[in-house]
Amino acid sequence: MLLINTPLYDTKMIQQRVDNYISQFKEGYFSPLALMARLTEEIGELAREVNHHHGEKPKKSSEKAKTMDEELGDVLFVLTCFANSLDIDLSEAFERSIQKIETRDKHRWTRKD
């Protein structure tokens, strides 16, 4: 769900905005290993939200309300930090990945009429 007056970003804009933020700090980007740990942590938080909303595990009454879009945003932020720290262009990485998937899986699934 998009919020009113929320700008739409392409991957280059996302990577630039994250880099602008991180570049303010002397510490800069975390190491790839630390970023992998953070990404795993954020994916775990997303998994927890999915389980609360679509699974059998309801939230505890003491747990803070979070949303899946908030958790997906956190995953995207850390993933972008990871890509930036390794000088990986997410648009190019996605293009390579989607070409592979579109070729490999073009006859794998039943097409809609």
Q: How far apart (Å, rounded) are the C-alpha atoms in residues 86 and 43?
A: 20
Query: What are the CA-CA distances from residue 10 to residues 50, 51, 59, 109 (Å)?
Result: 25, 29, 34, 28
Cβ count near 18 (within 10 Å)? 19
Beta carbons within 8 Å of 80's beta carbon, 6+ residues apart: 14, 15, 18, 90
Cβ proximity of 58 and 52 under 8 Å: yes
Q: Domain 11-104 adopts which CATH fold? A: Helix Hairpins (1.10.287)
81 φ, ψ (degrees, to nearest 5)? -60, -45
- Tally the residues of the chain: 113
Domain boundary assignment for the chain: 11-104
Q: How far apart (Å, rounded) are the C-alpha atoms in residues 36 and 45?
A: 14
Residue range 24-82, pLDDT digits in tens: 999 999 999 999 999 999 999 999 999 988 988 888 878 777 788 999 999 999 999 99
Asked if the model's pLDDT at residue 2 lies above 60, the reply is no
| pTM beyond 0.75 | yes
